[in-house]
Amino acid sequence: MVVQPIRDRRAERREATRSEILDAAWELVRAEGLAGLSLRDLARRVGMQAPSLYSYFDSKHAIYDAMFRQGAQEYARGQALIPETGDGLVDLKVGLHFFVGFCTEDPARYQLLFQRTIPGFEPSPESYASSVEGLETLRARLAGMGLDDDALDLLTAIGTGLTDQQISNDPGGDRWTRRVDEAIEMFFAHVSLRGPATRRPATIEKVGKRR
């Protein structure tokens, strides 16, 4: 028989309020941009005065950290839920649709998780661990298809490239997201060509101009 642990109503209440604050914070950054999060505005949204927030979070960075953690967990959970068919091409397409969709549906979250543009903010080790989880799931799946870390790097570049162009140059549209399938076909054909032992063609030297 399972012993019911004693409920701590105070702790439950506190958690509920924390969660409410975080929800409001997400709303705010979606509207004002990630850097536009201010404690005054945030407090007003939940019907508090700014100093009251300090009963729930030690600092503004602590709020960012909790948001980072939430976002990373959402990503890892979504990633884990992607069905696998065994057909590499199909699985890659579904996977990239998930990634690009996840990022473009909330650019502020994308910025927080993948771009790190908040000056002075670094996720705590625990929060960072959550973010590694999603990438590891992806790495394992690719490995199952016989693809190594080099292929992973190329794939993530394609994913962030489509995402970034979509967000920067056609927000709310689908000028780049609609090319996910084509991009995966291109990638798939490419990695299908090279076996385990491959030599790379000669490299062109970098042509750059200094200011």
User: What are the angstrom distances between the C-alpha of 134 and each of 36, 68, 72, 103, 149?
Assistant: 27, 13, 7, 13, 15
Query: Token digits for 137?
Result: 């799931």
Q: Are 176 and 116 in contact (CB under 8 A)?
A: no
Q: Which stretch binds its own copies (CB under 8 A): 12-20, 53-61, 77-85, 137-145?
A: 77-85
CB of 125 to its own copies, least distance (A): 17
Q: Are 156 and 169 in contact (CB under 8 A)?
A: no
Q: Is 201 in the site for its own copies (CB under 8 A)?
A: yes
Q: Are 96 and 159 in contact (CB under 8 A)?
A: yes
CB of 52 to DNA, least distance (A): 4
Query: Token digits for 169?
Result: 């140059």
Residues within window 16-75 making contact with its own copies, judged by CB under 8 A: 26, 32-33, 35-36, 74
Q: Are 70 and 108 in contact (CB under 8 A)?
A: no
Q: Which stretch binds its own copies (CB under 8 A): 1-9, 13-21, 39-47, 102-110?
A: 102-110
Q: Which stretch binds DNA (CB under 7 A): 39-47, 72-80, 88-96, 111-119?
A: 39-47
CB of 88 to its own copies, least distance (A): 13
Residues that bind DNA (CB under 7 A): 10, 14, 17, 37-41, 43, 47-52, 54-56, 59-61
